[in-house]
Structure 1
Amino acid sequence: MRDAYMKSDPAFIDWRAGKSLDPAERWADWHTLVTAATSRGVEVRRARIASTPISEYIRFEYEVTEGLNIAAGEQVRWLSRREATDIALPGNDFWLFDAQLVLVNHFDGEGENLERELNESPESAKLCETAFDAVWRRATPHAEFRPL
């Protein structure tokens, strides 16, 4: 839900410098994990909310999505922040597992990862599920999304 993450990430730095990236190689552990899950029939969905026109970092994410996320079997959709005004969103990025477990990602003001928190509160899980479903219904599939 941020417009920039981990600007210290070597992959982002290399991308900014114009170096060629192989996302499946660069993030091999993630690619292997998601590929194994989706091969077993697990549905992995990722929704990205971004300001438009998009930031440099979101352009980077957009450009590696096909070779990393989609190639591993993730479904990815994008939603312009302008279209999310009436959706009640949690204050932090999150991953929701089995509609019960929330992995909350905490970042500092510059987008650097501070910590992750596991939250098993049914109320938190329901909020995250409701928010994600609302975003997912409204968002555009990656193949159809045209960043500005």
Structure 2
Amino acid sequence: MIAITDEQFGDLVAGFDDNFIHLETRDAYGTTVELPHMAKWAAGEHDDLEWLQDWCANLRRKRAAGKSMRRARIVSEPLSDYQRWSHSIAQPMVDAGEDIRWVPRRLVSSIAFPGNDFYVFDNRTVMFLIYAGSGLAAEKLVSTDPADVRLCLSAFEAAWKLAVPHRGYTPV
């Protein structure tokens, strides 16, 4: 595995050929981009979500080109404040072409998961997202090892079968 920069991550997201999948397993994150917006939400303030527009624009371009983008969020219920906020801002990404689904953690007890959240690009490159205990992003590691790819694809598809589409998921 090799460590990559945020810029290289951006290149992977912008440059995939056919599809990506993304599995999220934490109940809370603390990314420096998101924290101020979550704080506004917690205070009941309006957020125009302008900060999400670059991501959504990329999703729209990929969808227009026939690409597939799927995200499964494994969540504890009742949802953490972070996941409630995340649910509240997901619709623009869904509208832009990312299929976001929610999986109650109680349903995935018998699924073997990698130790970290991940993306798989084009069924051949895995990027593991390493987080500090605070939820802040600590590192991104990339692997093309076929065993890593198989593990991640298997875990994702098993969770996906149990997942509820964003429009149909009611936060508990």
Report TM bin, short chain.
over 0.9
Aligned counterparts of 1:63 and 1:49: Cα–Cα separation in 2: 16
1:57 is aligned, of 82, 91, 111, to: 82
Give the AA of the match of 2:98: E
2:165 is aligned, of 97, 118, 141, to: 141
2:59 is aligned, of 31, 34, 39, to: 34
Aligned counterparts of 2:170 and 2:129: Cα–Cα separation in 1: 27
Say whether 1:10 aligns with 2:36.
yes
Task: Deviation per CA, 1:91-136: give whole Å up to 9, x if none.
Answer: 1000111111011111011111111111111100110000000011
2:70 is aligned, of 17, 42, 45, to: 45
Aligned counterparts of 1:26 and 1:110: Cα–Cα separation in 2: 22
CA root-mean-square deviation? 1.1
Give the AA of the match of 2:91: E
Aligned counterparts of 1:18 and 1:102: Cα–Cα separation in 2: 37
Identity of aligned residues (%): 37
2:140 is aligned, of 105, 116, 119, to: 116
1:22 is aligned, of 45, 48, 52, to: 48
Partner of 2:95: 71
Identify unmatched segments of 5+ residues in structure 1.
none
TM-superposed CA distance for 1:22, in Å, is 2.6
TM-superposed CA distance for 1:7, in Å, is 6.1
Say whether 1:89 aligns with 2:113.
yes
1:132 is aligned, of 156, 161, 166, to: 156
Aligned counterparts of 1:72 and 1:127: Cα–Cα separation in 2: 28
Partner of 2:21: none
Partner of 1:98: 122
Write out the 4+ residue segments of structure 1 that deviate beyond 2 Å after TM superposition.
none
Aligned counterparts of 1:90 and 1:114: Cα–Cα separation in 2: 17
Larger relative CO (CA 8 A, sep 6+): 1 or 2?
2
Task: Deviation per CA, 1:67-112: give whole Å up to 9, x if none.
Answer: 2x11211111100000010111111000111111011111011111
Identify unmatched segments of 5+ residues in structure 2.
1-24
TM-superposed CA distance for 1:49, in Å, is 0.2
Does the aligned pair in 2 maintain the 1:77–1:142 contact within 8 Å? yes
